[in-house]
Structure 1
Amino acid sequence: MTVRPLISSLALLLTIASPFASAQQPSRFPVVSLTAGMHVIRAEVASTDAERQQGLMFREKMGPNEGMVFMFHAPASVCMWMKNTLIPLSVAFIDQDGKIVNIEDMQPQTTDSHCAKKQVHYALEMNLGWFRQKNIKPGMSIEGLPR
C-alpha cells in the first residue's frame, strides 16, 4: 500500500463532502440594525464578492425580522437568484440614498433572475411577503444601511 492513493482518496472524499458540510453549516456574517419605518430589522451584511455569492444559501429558516443586506460598493445593475436557497424570500433593491427602487418575490431553489429596475447600492432580502405585510413599498427608505 502506498500513501499516494490514500491521499487521492481522501482528497476525493473531501471534495465530495464539502457541499454537504456547507449545507449543514451556513456561513454567518456581521449584523447591523436597520429600520424600515417603525420596523427594526436585524440584517447580516454581505459586502464582499464571496459573501454576496454565498448569501442565504442553505439556510433552513430565518427569524421574522431577520434578513440580509447585500452591499455593492458602486452603483450596480443587480439581479438576484435563488440557487441553493431553501427559504422563499422577498428582495428590496435600494439606491445610494436608502430609497427602495423595487421589491421582488423569489421562490426557493430557482434560477429565475429578479432584477433592480435601475442601478442600486443595496439589496435587502427578507422572508417572503415581509415588505407587503409591513406595508413597505418602493419610494420608502431603509435607514442604517452600512456605508
Structure 2
Amino acid sequence: MVRACVIAAVLPFAALPLAQAQTMPPGAKQPSDFPRAKLTAGMYVIDAAVAANDADREQGLMYRSKLGANEGMLFVFNENAVHCFWMKNTLIPLSIAFIRADGTITDIDEMQAETENNHCPRNNGVYALEMPKGWFAAKGIKPGTQIKGLPSAQ
C-alpha cells in the first residue's frame, strides 16, 4: 500500500486582511489564485478551491483563519492510493472526506488545527475534500454519499 503524506491547511478564498497576508511565506499561493469547482453533496453546493498539483496540495489551506459555511478545498491526486493529511500551519479545525474516483465518500475524519497527527483513510482514493469542522456531520453526509462535479483526476 502506497502512502502519500499531504499537508492539509486552511486558506481564505477572499482577499486576506493585510496582517494575515503578511504571515504567508514568500511564494505561497493566495487563496484567490486556486482554481475553483462547484461540487454537490446531495442538495448541498460546495465552493471548493482545487489543489491538483504537488505545490498546491502541499500548501492546501495553510495559513487561513476562516472558511465560509460551504467553502472547502478539493485535493486531486494522480494515483489511486491512501493519501494521508496533517494540519501543520493550519489555523482552523477541519473535517476531511476521502473520496474514490467514482465520487463515493469512503471515510470522514475530524482534524484539529495546528497538529501533526496523520489522518489516513482506510481505503484508497483519488480525492480528498476539506470543509469546516463538523460540516459533513451537520449535513448528514456520511461514507457512501456521492460527490458530484469532481474534476478529472490525472
Instruction: Give the TM-score category using the shorter length.
Output: 0.7 to 0.9
The structure carrying a bigger helix percent of its residues is 1
TM-aligned CA deviation for residue 135 of structure 1:
0.1
Aligned partner of 1:15 in structure 2 is none
The yes-or-no answer on 1:81 pairing with 2:86 is yes
Gaps of 5+ in 1: 1-18
Give me the whole-angstrom Cα distance separating, in 1, the residues matched to 2:29 and 2:87: 15
TM-aligned CA deviation for residue 120 of structure 1:
0.5
Aligned partner of 2:39 in structure 1 is 34
Gaps of 5+ in 2: 1-21
Aligned partner of 1:118 in structure 2 is 123
Return the TM-score normalized by structure 1: 0.83
Which secondary structure state, in structure 1, belongs to the residue aligned with residue 23 of structure 2? helix
The yes-or-no answer on 1:104 pairing with 2:109 is yes
The amino acid across from 1:120 in the alignment is: G
Instruction: State which of 23, 27, 42 in structure 2 corresponds to 1:20.
Output: 23
User: Structure 1 residues 92, 21: closer, same or farther in 2, change over 3 A?
Assistant: closer
Structure with higher RCO (Cα < 8 A, 6+ apart): 2
Misfit runs of 4+, over 6 Å: none
Give me the whole-angstrom Cα distance separating, in 2, the residues matched to 1:125 and 1:139: 17
What percentage of aligned pairs have identical amino acids? 54
Superposed CA RMSD in Å reads 1.5
Return the TM-score normalized by structure 2: 0.80
**Larger Cα Rg: Structure 1 or Structure 2?**
1
Q: Which string of whole-angstrom CA distances, capped at 9 and with x for unpartnered residues, describes residues 76-119 of structure 1?
A: 21111000000100000000000000000000000001111111
Aligned partner of 2:151 in structure 1 is 146
Instruction: State which of 138, 141, 150 in structure 2 corresponds to 1:136.
Output: 141
Aligned partner of 1:63 in structure 2 is 68
Which secondary structure state, in structure 1, belongs to the residue aligned with residue 147 of structure 2? coil
